[in-house]
Structure 1
Amino acid sequence: MDTALTHAVAVIGAGPVGQTTALLLARWGLRVILLDRRPERDPIGSKAICQQRDVLDVWATLGAEAIAREGLTWSTARTYNRDAELFSWSFADAGRSPLPPYVNLSQARTEEILDTRIASDDRIEVGWNKEVTGLRQDDDGVSLECADGSVTRAAYAVACSGARGGGIRELLGLDFPGLSFEDRFLICDIRADLPGWENERRFYFDPPWNPGRQVLIHPCPGSTYRIDWQVPPGFDLAAEEASGGLDRRIRQIIGDRPYEIVWRSVYRFHSRVVDRMRVGRVLLAGDCAHLLAPFGARGLNSGVPDAENAAWKIAFVANGWAPPELLETYQAERHAAALENLEITTATMRFLIPQDEAGWRARREILDAAAGSPATAAATVDSGRFAEPFWYVDSPLTTPEPGRPFGGRPPKGHAPAPAPGVITPDAPVTIAGRPDVSRLRQIVREGLTLLVAGDRDTGSPGDAARRAARAPLTVLGIDDVDPSGELAEALAARPGESWLIRPDAHIAAILPDADPARVTAAVRRALAMASPGDALPADV
């Protein structure tokens, strides 16, 4: 690495995606500088409150288990039309994760917990009042010019500058196509005692207290509730408060109970994805790369997977464990994920806010037909599909296996059966000499992991995997680490199979046997050391 470089990676933006990126990069041993244009942290409002199990798992890996522990756990989502419940659904776990399927916790508290972890890591430097106004790249690195006249020089940069990241996108010459919705959403955090509401998310179509529009209610820790009202274009919050309208809105929901307003704001939602998420040595992550309507909680819950994908790939390239071509697969994988999230959330917004009379008529017909038929309602009423990991089935890093096909998008709240490209289910493991490891996801995030099912010796496939690359690699026999049988059950592992798992817990390959040549090919593909079109050993 060029001696003029002051850091391995510069992360632009100290929101939760930038914080996570910095912590993950430091975990791989890289020196990081975290730059933010603000003078200091602004801990205001709930903002992104819903955090999904796989995101909680990433944070737990970073020592931020407090996010899952402090967050309010909920597992049931209810959807109503006016006052009648249409359907409800709950999360199912194919593995045995100790983490809840979702928690609600204010973004301010999440950032506070992550800041504590950053402060304890001397590989991370934090720079406030560092607005990036210039960006130049060359063969050796990236130079970031800040408004205060300082210049930061790093080998790579990750832009996590949030919804207001237009300046960074402009510096990189990127477009940000998409659409913005005219309707506004009024968001209030209130503190109140609402028995029976503590553990459920509630979504209302056309309730009597917001006719013609929607209301979403989320429970949060400390008897706090987040209420989102869809309001018309031009809604004036100050006028609403002055007239007593805001109090009336709240009391129409909670009745004559004492309450306290903790925070309130008005948002306009957008559906936009940047045209490229990698430009040379710069990767874009989170809201800087994609703005999504919040129904389904796919903003922060897609930004953290961006961070993890970017971090392990930058680390593997920077440490010489993989070729530079690995970075382009960030674009291939995370841009596809962003486009899927855009498709899903835009469809939800078009159901919530039809764009013409035909759309309104179709929605009324769907809601009326769904009354009294939960199965019909669950299949046809779109109140938001909650965030789930993107499945890298078509990634150039994934080795397909006809005997383990991807089954397509599962019902709400369910995970797909394990297959190449899918994130692996979690389960308890016992590893000799590693008392710090109690579940699969902990060990796989240390590098590549090769699991061998059945009673065959792991030596031959393990040796092949080690010869294929210099990257960190753990080889485990499933029978050796799975005394309870829960891991084999979660994977539905078949005797003789070899499972190659990436550092972000996604399955790179499931090979029907432990043939060393196949293992070698799968490892090389998982690290972009071979073209997806390269010939593989016979019978693969």
Structure 2
Amino acid sequence: MTITLTAAVAVLGNGPVGQTAALLLARWGLPVVLVDQRPHRDGVGSKAIVQQRDVLDIWESVGAGRRIADEGLTWTTARTFYRDRELFSYSFAEAGRPAFPPFVNISQSRTEQILDERIAAEPLIDVRWGHRVVDIAQDPSGVTLTCLTPAGETTMRTAYLLACAGARGEEVRRMLGVRFDGRSFADRFLICDIRAELPGWAQERRFYFDPPWNPGRQVLIHPCPGSTFRIDWQVPPDYDDRAEAESGARDARIRAVIGDRPYEVVWSSVYRFQSRLADRMRVGRVLLAGDVAHLVSPFGARGLNSGVQDAENAAWKLAFVLRGWADDALLDSYHAERHAAALENLDVTGATMRFLVPDDERGRRHRTSVLEAAGSDPEARAAVDSGRLAEPFWYVGSPLTTPEPVRPFSGRPARGAVPPPCPGVLVPDAPISAAAPGVNRLREVARDGFLLLAADGVDTGPVRRAARLATPAPVRLLRLADSDPAGALREALAARPGELWILRPDAHIAAVLPGATPSSVTRALRRALGSSPHRGDAVAGPGDSCP
């Protein structure tokens, strides 16, 4: 039997990236069909455990971020060791007053459960397990998916498809004609999640170069909820986990790290890294997000976190196009922005892997000399690379961003830091007032549409009129003097008199306009939409028109 289903967007892949995309699209009032070839949720293993602050913000916009953060374990310090001595540590800071800690550790399976609960409460999301997509056909008006199910073949008709099919999405890429160039690393790594009492380790991420209990290789230790710790060893290419477990060698490996104390192995896995990137993240009416579009090494936790940021970028742009607030050309900026973000992640994680696993003897000598000197030499310390932790990408070169010479991008910041606010950067979060009932944080308001922040001296009347004429999309204007009485936001922005800040629906800064005029507001908003928006009948989204 063939059943035809209709939705505004089909999301392929019911992992965290697909779940996030479906929830965000529904938040914009769009019906979504969420399909996965598996028969049901697979809760085996902790998998991706490190959830970054700004990703928690995204999840909070669909009602899940606070719960994930509260159930997870918060850590604020990253320590790096060489052999038996600590080289350095650093903690994380951010301008403003963020709603969440820098990182929260929680198993991917538990995150998926919490997102599933939010999906179950959302009538606009139709979840379809056991649907294996065998054909993707496009025409000028939509996408047709052909799926094999236990009940037979079925077809689905949708305006757009967001493919979040994960690392094993070879068939999806093949159907779309997408290349996935890159490399695989020969070295293997062993993960063991163990439950044990390790006093003093619960708030820290620890990285060991060449420790006595894994000579010549690395070990990474992450704390998790419930007195659980993720230990990640670099192991020889011929490592056999089953044989080591049966011989008792794995027990000795674990005890070398934690000492002679009781423990329980909760989960273990052996894996190899890949660094790969799709040549296109937009193929007509199909967008690719998450691991189906890019794979990076896990040092730095940039896999799941960047996939969720893909989902948010895709969701607001699909919503704006389907609502008639922007032309279809806006979707071209999805590839421009998220492909650049993936290249950044590949560059960062590639540098880490070259330091962790040098390709030749020269590289090994360089690493040893850096590590030997890092205990006392700040320059050498800065060259030690145990993984630059996940961070939002900076859309400074995006076609949607209006550059401002007086607020240039300062370049990739130091580890654990964020760049000063400027066009393209994710706006610092801070408490605000006079926004809406129950809404008390800047990024909450920003994610309802476009947000205009007016510093002292801005004539808001002409700005409001220009915004209404520039776009039918939701736009809100707030005076900083009214919404930021304590001054935390003005301090975080270093806002100057006469400036108008324009924030996108993903809370990235689209423009900072000194001495804003109606024409400059119009140009910046239209640029942030990719092209002049349609002016057809628009239905209300989660935000308001400019009040």
Instruction: Please classify the TM superposition score into its range, dividing by the shorter chain length.
Output: over 0.9
Q: 1:233: Cα distance to partner? A: 1.0
Match for residue 542 of structure 2?
Answer: none
Task: State the Cα deviation string for residues 305-355 of structure 1 (Å, max 9, x = none).
Answer: 100000000000000000000000000000000011001101101110011
Secondary structure of the residue aligned to 2:432 is coil
Correspondence for 1:196 among 196, 200, 208: 200
C-alpha distance in 2 between matches for 1:36 and 1:234: 34
Secondary structure of the residue aligned to 1:238 is helix
C-alpha distance in 2 between matches for 1:463 and 1:477: 15
Task: Give the letter for the 1:468 counterpart.
Answer: A
Correspondence for 1:517 among 516, 519, 528: 519
TM-score w.r.t. the length of structure 1 is 0.96
Match for residue 115 of structure 1?
Answer: 116
Match for residue 76 of structure 1?
Answer: 77
Pairing of 1:425-504 with structure 2 (within 5 A):
425-431=428-434, 434-504=436-506
C-alpha distance in 1 between matches for 2:402 and 2:219: 44
Match for residue 538 of structure 1?
Answer: none
C-alpha distance in 2 between matches for 1:98 and 1:35: 32
Match for residue 390 of structure 1?
Answer: 393
2:263 matches 1:262: no
C-alpha distance in 1 between matches for 2:333 and 2:179: 20
Pairing of 1:163-312 with structure 2 (within 5 A):
163-312=167-316
Secondary structure of the residue aligned to 1:6 is strand
Task: State the Cα deviation string for residues 413-435 of structure 1 (Å, max 9, x = none).
Answer: 11100000000000110015x22
Task: Give the letter for the 1:102 counterpart.
Answer: F
Give the conservation status (yes or no) of the 8 Å contact 2:5–2:155.
no
Task: Give the letter for the 1:380 counterpart.
Answer: A
Task: Give the letter for the 2:331 counterpart.
Answer: L
C-alpha distance in 2 between matches for 1:394 and 1:447: 22
Give the conservation status (yes or no) of the 8 Å contact 1:5–1:141.
no
Query: RMSD between aligned alpha carbons?
Result: 1.1
Match for residue 536 of structure 1?
Answer: none
Task: State the Cα deviation string for residues 172-217 of structure 1 (Å, max 9, x = none).
Answer: 0011001110011100100000000000000000111111110000
Match for residue 535 of structure 1?
Answer: none
Match for residue 28 of structure 1?
Answer: 28
Give the gaps of 5 or more residues in structure 1: 532-540
Task: Give the letter for the 1:154 counterpart.
Answer: T
Once superposed, which parts of structure 1, at least 4 consecutive aligned residues long, lie more than 4 Å away? none
Correspondence for 2:366 among 351, 362, 368: 362
Task: Give the letter for the 1:37 counterpart.
Answer: Q
C-alpha distance in 1 between matches for 2:238 and 2:114: 37
Secondary structure of the residue aligned to 1:438 is strand
Match for residue 15 of structure 2?
Answer: 15
Task: Give the letter for the 2:470 counterpart.
Answer: A
2:86 matches 1:85: yes
Give the conservation status (yes or no) of the 8 Å contact 1:458–1:476.
no
Task: Give the letter for the 2:409 counterpart.
Answer: F
C-alpha distance in 2 between matches for 1:269 and 1:217: 18
Task: State the Cα deviation string for residues 93-125 of structure 1 (Å, max 9, x = none).
Answer: 111012111100000100000000000000001
Match for residue 48 of structure 2?
Answer: 48
Correspondence for 1:152 among 130, 150, 156: 156
Match for residue 37 of structure 1?
Answer: 37
Match for residue 544 of structure 2?
Answer: none
Q: 1:463: Cα distance to partner? A: 1.2
Secondary structure of the residue aligned to 1:264 is strand
Q: 1:5: Cα distance to partner? A: 6.7
Secondary structure of the residue aligned to 1:95 is coil
Give the conservation status (yes or no) of the 8 Å contact 2:88–2:375.
no
C-alpha distance in 1 between matches for 2:401 and 2:146: 38
Match for residue 325 of structure 1?
Answer: 329
C-alpha distance in 2 between matches for 1:88 and 1:20: 33
Secondary structure of the residue aligned to 1:331 is helix
Give the conservation status (yes or no) of the 8 Å contact 1:87–1:377.
no
Match for residue 529 of structure 1?
Answer: 531
TM-score w.r.t. the length of structure 2 is 0.95
2:409 matches 1:406: yes
Give the conservation status (yes or no) of the 8 Å contact 1:188–1:227.
yes
Task: Give the letter for the 2:393 counterpart.
Answer: F
Task: Give the letter for the 1:485 counterpart.
Answer: G
C-alpha distance in 2 between matches for 1:462 and 1:209: 64
Give the conservation status (yes or no) of the 8 Å contact 1:73–1:199.
yes
Task: State the Cα deviation string for residues 338-383 of structure 1 (Å, max 9, x = none).
Answer: 011001101101110011111111111111121233x234411010
C-alpha distance in 1 between matches for 2:54 and 2:270: 29
C-alpha distance in 1 between matches for 2:217 and 2:84: 13
Give the gaps of 5 or more residues in structure 2: 534-547
Q: 1:457: Cα distance to partner? A: 3.6
Task: State the Cα deviation string for residues 430-458 of structure 1 (Å, max 9, x = none).
Answer: 015x2211110000000011111004442
Task: State the Cα deviation string for residues 123-164 of structure 1 (Å, max 9, x = none).
Answer: 001011111111000011111111221111110011111010
C-alpha distance in 2 between matches for 1:120 and 1:235: 45
Give the conservation status (yes or no) of the 8 Å contact 1:104–1:220.
yes
Secondary structure of the residue aligned to 2:336 is helix
Give the conservation status (yes or no) of the 8 Å contact 1:214–1:229.
yes
The number of residues matched between the two structures is: 526
Q: Which has the higher strand share?
A: 2
Task: Give the letter for the 1:524 counterpart.
Answer: R
Secondary structure of the residue aligned to 2:222 is strand
Secondary structure of the residue aligned to 1:429 is strand
Secondary structure of the residue aligned to 2:161 is strand
Secondary structure of the residue aligned to 2:39 is coil
C-alpha distance in 2 between matches for 1:378 and 1:22: 43
C-alpha distance in 2 between matches for 1:95 and 1:23: 27
